[in-house]
């Protein structure tokens, strides 16, 4: 993803440099493109000075002027290569700030659905005063890596509400597994059996799909006749559709992704960073808004 961003940033960077060079165009035009001529007599100078100056921006660049600008930009970059990275870093920061602003607005506008939907799994303390939301995919290797982080946080923080949102974006197997998972949640609103199902399916080896998810559900002790019935129910479709729309609105484009307070955190960032995000001064509690 970073390479794609860099590819988009490069034209902007060089356009900016060209604009800077364009601002210096009068000097270039005077020294390199003005044809040789007889000097203006001193007596005529005041009249020339009083004439209205022509705006450089309205001039049509000649081939010589375009070449001069190209040489100027290339020479400046060669002499100061650090400005390329500085410009890209500044553009990155601007984009991240804009994304963060958008996320804060989206979280505020969708607070109830993100943190307190009737179609979500809540692990940990349902009445807890600290809430973390995770968008995940059962076939995501990074979600598997982040699973111990979730378990550690739940173990260490008795006030943590950990909300799981299905985000099956890695193929048909992921969609099938999500259907079984939602059906399992429908049988277990407390999440006590669901958490065992979640750990075994996400933490197990091999690809997750319908067959594997059903096998895990059976092993955990769910009512399999009901699972088979519920996995294609309107509730399952509503749950997954709601989660996918939320992810799109939040700009979530990978798994795992978290919503903590008014911030979206993308990637398996590690236990220490998640703990820091959950600290009171970093992640204002949104669970307080639940009715």
**Residue ranges of domains in the chain, CATH in brackets:** 2-80 (no CATH), 111-289 (3.40.30.10)
**Residue at token pair 């001069």:** 68
Distance CA 165, CA 75 (A): 52
CB neighbours of residue 125 within 10 Å:
17
pLDDT the model gives residue 132? 96
Return the pLDDT at 90.
80
Q: What is the pLDDT along the chain (291 residues), one digit of tens a residue?
A: 333 333 444 444 555 555 544 444 444 333 334 344 333 344 444 444 444 444 444 367 788 888 888 888 888 888 888 887 887 878 767 777 777 777 788 899 999 999 999 999 999 999 999 999 999 999 999 999 999 999 999 999 999 999 999 999 999 999 999 999 999 999 998 888 999 999 999 999 889 999 999 999 999 999 999 999 999 999 999 999 999 999 999 989 889 999 999 999 999 999 999 999 987 654 444 444 444
DSSP lists the bridge partners of residue 246 as: none
Environment class of 159 (CB within 10 Å of its CB; exposed 0-12, middle 13-18, buried 19+): middle
pLDDT at 18: 52
C-alpha 261/C-alpha 269 separation (Å) is: 16
Per-residue pLDDT, 281: 55
Total-model pTM: 0.68
pLDDT computed for residue 159 by the predictor: 93
What CA–CA distances, in Å, run from 267 to 99, 181, 254, 260? Answer: 15, 22, 7, 13
H helices of the chain, in order, are: 2-23, 25-28, 45-50, 63-79, 82-109, 111-116, 141-156, 172-187, 192-203, 210-220, 224-230, 234-250, 271-278
Let me know: does 116 contact 239? Beta carbons within 8 Å. no
Q: What is the pLDDT of residue 259?
A: 95
Of the candidates 207, 4, 5, the residue with the CA atom closest to the CA atom of residue 89: 5
């Amino acid at each position: 993803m970073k390479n794609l961003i860099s590819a988009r940033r490069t034209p902007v960077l060089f356009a900016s440099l060209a604009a800077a060079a364009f601002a210096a165009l009068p000097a270039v035009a005077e020294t390199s493109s003005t044809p040789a001529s007889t000097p203006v007599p001193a007596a005529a100078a005041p009249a020339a000075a009083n004439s209205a100056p022509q705006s450089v921006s309205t001039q049509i660049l000649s081939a010589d002027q375009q070449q001069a600008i190209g040489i100027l930009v290339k020479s400046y970059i060669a002499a100061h290569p650090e400005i390329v990275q500085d410009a890209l870093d500044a553009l990155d920061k601007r984009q991240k700030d804009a994304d963060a602003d958008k996320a804060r607005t989206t979280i505020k506008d969708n607070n109830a659905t993100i943190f307190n939907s009737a179609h979500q799994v809540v692990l940990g303390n349902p009445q807890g005063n600290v809430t973390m939301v995770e968008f995940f995919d059962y076939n995501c290797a990074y979600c598997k890596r982040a699973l111990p982080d979730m378990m550690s946080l739940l173990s260490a923080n008795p006030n943590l509400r950990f909300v799981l949102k299905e985000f099956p974006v890695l193929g048909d197997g992921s969609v099938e597994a999500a259907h079984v998972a939602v059906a399992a949640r429908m049988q277990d609103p407390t999440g006590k059996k669901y958490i065992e199902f979640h750990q075994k399916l996400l933490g197990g080896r091999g690809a997750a799909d319908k067959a594997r998810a059903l096998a895990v559900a059976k092993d955990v002790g769910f009512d399999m006749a009901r699972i088979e019935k519920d996995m294609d129910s309107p509730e399952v479709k509503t749950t997954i559709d709601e989660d996918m729309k939320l992810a799109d609105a939040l700009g979530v484009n990978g798994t795992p992704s978290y919503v903590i307070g008014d911030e979206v955190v993308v990637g398996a960032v590690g236990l220490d960073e998640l703990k820091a995000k959950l600290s009171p001064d970093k992640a204002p509690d949104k669970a307080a808004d639940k009715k």
